[in-house]
């Protein structure tokens, strides 16, 4: 079943993921988790009440109790599991996907993620077989409002924020439910855009990774003469930042800046970053007294490495940021607070703070349709064997003045290229070289 992905369950509703299938996924979850209680939350998508109720029906029909926390963000679901000590949780969401999609993100105790390798494929097998466990009695549904506790948790990360003006676009996602409560406790002024949760996404797709979704934010930012712009995705676990000139700050640079804020409190802490990130991240972490650790792409891998190394921060190029003090889970709102802490401490314009980090030249991620992914990566390994070649996630090769990574898609016959060089000319030259090989 194509809806069972590497990191979650996701598909078009009701064509690929329908009400009956949601019931069966609930039964599979109750069978797989082997616990007495599960937390369930849902985002603001039109189909989320139906999908959520069906999921809950499946869970309770197997004798497992459900703590229903209602319409929440994905980070709030993780918080509920970690803060109240529940043994697991399921979030009804399709994250940043368009309105027609829905799905489930799952975690066990302490918000430890469940991925394809650690449970999702097992649940797929249970759904296929229809062999679900049952206690012979129905579980209970307990309603719980966690809003105030969650907002208080987010505010614990505030350290010395000064009066700043921010234009914030939540894209009609779930974060609009929380931000007024957060900013009521901050000395900042907030210009809100599309704060009303609306799962139809009537204004634009709630995916801040796409530049076209930041166009209106940038216009408003300049009109308001604000200090920065902030955009969230639909379920609130990703965030993007724009400086006062309307220039997008790439997420790897945001990771480096947040690492500075964390390392200013305590040196020697570990910071995990994904291997698509600029080499300035590792350089800047080291310069500020931290230990930079490279990871393969994917939240389950980054969270595992963070736990193993007691890392304070993890960052992905996709705009996910993970915090040890947040159960090693991602949170767009906590990232926002950390960013506001940092620029308040620096006392400069955002563009001035970021400028020294804009040192190298990157291609961004480029996708190629490739049937023989392994064969093509072997070609690359042979051609660039004079570099430092390694296989943490696909193939990477590092040279003194440039590097690249080519990794396979989990879900399609595609390879994804990221490349960076010390000069623009070298970046363009090496990009053309590898593109020609991948398109051959």
- More confident of the two residues 149 and 371: 149
Is 80 exceeded by the pLDDT of residue 115? yes
Strand partners, 389: 397
pLDDT in tens, 300-321: 999 999 999 999 999 999 999 9
CB within 8 Å of 259: residues ≥ 6 apart: 271, 281, 284, 285, 288, 290, 313, 315
The dihedral sign for the CA sequence 223, 228, 231, 232: negative
pLDDT in tens, 254-270: 999 999 999 999 999 99
Mean pLDDT calculated for residue range 417-436: 98
Q: pTM higher than 0.85, yes or no? A: yes
Mean pLDDT for all residues in the chain: 97
Is 60 exceeded by the pLDDT of residue 1? no
Is 90 exceeded by the pLDDT of residue 411? no
CB within 8 Å of 331: residues ≥ 6 apart: 75, 78, 79, 154, 236, 237, 321, 323
Q: What's the confidence (pLDDT) of residue 412?
A: 77
Does the domain made of 361-439 have the CATH classification 3.30.310.50?
yes
Mean pLDDT calculated for residue range 179-207: 97
Mean pLDDT calculated for residue range 419-428: 98
Annotated active-site residue 95? The verdict is yes
Quick check: 343 and 262 in contact, CB under 8 A?
no
Mean pLDDT calculated for residue range 114-143: 95
Nearest to 416 by CA among 374, 362, 369: 369
248-249/239-242 β-pairing: antiparallel
- Kindly indicate the confidence band of residue 177, based on its pLDDT and cuts at 50, 70 and 90: very high
- Kindly indicate the confidence band of residue 125, based on its pLDDT and cuts at 50, 70 and 90: very high
Nearest to 132 by CA among 239, 17, 26, 271: 26
pLDDT in tens, 207-236: 999 999 999 999 999 999 999 999 999 999
DSSP strands (E only) in 205-266: 228-232, 239-242, 248-249
Q: What's the confidence (pLDDT) of residue 135?
A: 87
**Topology classification of domain 9-146:** Alpha-D-Glucose-1,6-Bisphosphate; Chain A, domain 3 (3.40.120)
Distance separating alpha carbons of residues 81 and 48, to the nearest angstrom: 20
Is 80 exceeded by the pLDDT of residue 131? yes
CA neighbours closer than 13 Å in the CB half-sphere of residue 211: 6
Phi-psi region of 333 (alpha: psi -120 to 50; beta: other; left: phi over 0): alpha
Nearest to 315 by CA among 259, 267, 262, 269: 259
For 149, the enclosing helix (H) or strand (E) is: helix 147-155
Q: What's the confidence (pLDDT) of residue 164?
A: 98
Distance separating alpha carbons of residues 437 and 158, to the nearest angstrom: 48
Quick check: 383 and 399 in contact, CB under 8 A?
no
Distance separating alpha carbons of residues 74 and 315, to the nearest angstrom: 17
Mean pLDDT calculated for residue range 101-106: 98
CB within 8 Å of 316: residues ≥ 6 apart: 251, 255, 273, 274, 297, 299, 302
Q: What's the confidence (pLDDT) of residue 413?
A: 84
- Residue of 48, 73, 95, 295 with catalytic role: 95
Distance separating alpha carbons of residues 383 and 437, to the nearest angstrom: 10
Fold equal for 9-146 and 159-357? yes
- More confident of the two residues 108 and 1: 108
Mean pLDDT calculated for residue range 338-343: 98
For 153, the enclosing helix (H) or strand (E) is: helix 147-155
Residue percentage of the chain with pLDDT more than 70: 100
Q: What's the confidence (pLDDT) of residue 317?
A: 95
pLDDT in tens, 32-66: 999 999 999 999 999 999 999 999 999 999 999 99
65 DSSP assignment: E
Quick check: 279 and 420 in contact, CB under 8 A?
yes
Which CATH number applies to 159-357? 3.40.120.10
Mean pLDDT calculated for residue range 13-36: 98
- Kindly indicate the confidence band of residue 94, based on its pLDDT and cuts at 50, 70 and 90: very high
Is 70 exceeded by the pLDDT of residue 348? yes
Phi-psi region of 70 (alpha: psi -120 to 50; beta: other; left: phi over 0): left
Distance separating alpha carbons of residues 168 and 165, to the nearest angstrom: 10
pLDDT in tens, 378-396: 999 999 999 999 999 999 9
Distance separating alpha carbons of residues 38 and 36, to the nearest angstrom: 7
Q: What's the confidence (pLDDT) of residue 380?
A: 97
Nearest to 262 by CA among 352, 349, 152, 159: 159
Distance separating alpha carbons of residues 196 and 245, to the nearest angstrom: 27
What residue ranges do the domains of the chain occupy? 9-146, 159-357, 361-439
């Amino acid at each position: 079943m194509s809806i069972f992905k590497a990191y979650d369950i996701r598909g078009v509703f009701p064509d690929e993921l329908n009400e009956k299938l949601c019931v069966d996924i609930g039964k599979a979850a109750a069978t797989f988790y082997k616990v007495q209680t599960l937390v369930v939350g849902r985002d603001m998508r039109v189909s989320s009440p139906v999908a959520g109720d069906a999921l809950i029906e499946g869970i309770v029909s197997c004798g497992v109790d459900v703590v229903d926390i209602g319409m929440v963000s994905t980070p709030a679901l993780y918080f509920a599991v970690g803060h109240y000590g529940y043994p697991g949780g399921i979030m009804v969401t399709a994250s940043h996907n368009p309105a027609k999609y829905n799905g489930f993100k799952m975690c066990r105790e302490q918000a430890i993620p469940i991925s394809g390798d650690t449970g999702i494929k097992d649940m797929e097998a249970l759904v296929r077989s229809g062999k679900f466990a049952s206690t012979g009695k129905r579980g209970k549904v307990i309603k719980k409002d966690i809003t105030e506790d969650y907002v208080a948790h987010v505010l614990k990360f505030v350290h010395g924020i000064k009066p700043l003006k921010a234009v914030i676009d939540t894209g009609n996602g779930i974060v609009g439910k929380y931000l007024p409560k957060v900013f009521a406790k901050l000395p900042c002024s907030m210009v809100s855009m599309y704060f009303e949760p609306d799962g139809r996404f009537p204004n634009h797709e709630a995916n801040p990774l796409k530049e076209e979704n930041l166009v209106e934010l940038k216009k408003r930012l300049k009109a308001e003469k604000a200090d920065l712009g902030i955009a969230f995705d639909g379920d609130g676990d990703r965030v993007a930042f724009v400086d006062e000139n309307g220039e997008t700050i790439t997420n790897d640079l945001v990771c480096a800046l947040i690492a500075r804020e964390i390392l200013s409190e305590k040196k020697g802490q570990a910071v995990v970053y994904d291997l698509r990130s600029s080499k300035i991240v590792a350089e800047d972490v080291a310069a500020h007294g931290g230990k930079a650790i490279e990871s393969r792409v994917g939240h389950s891998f980054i969270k595992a490495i963070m736990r193993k190394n007691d890392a304070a921060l993890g960052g992905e190029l996709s705009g996910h940021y993970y915090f040890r003090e947040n159960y090693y889970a991602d949170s767009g709102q906590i990232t926002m607070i950390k960013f506001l802490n940092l620029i308040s401490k620096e006392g400069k314009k955002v563009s001035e703070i970021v400028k020294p980090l804009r040192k190298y030249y990157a291609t961004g991620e480029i996708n190629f349709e490739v049937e023989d992914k392994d064969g093509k990566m072997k070609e690359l390994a042979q051609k660039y064997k004079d570099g430092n070649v390694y296989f943490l996630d696909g193939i990477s090769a590092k040279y003194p003045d440039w590097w690249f990574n080519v990794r396979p898609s989990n879900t399609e016959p595609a390879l994804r290229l990221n490349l960076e060089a010390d000069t623009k000319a070298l970046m363009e030259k090496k990009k053309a070289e590898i593109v020609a090989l991948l398109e051959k």
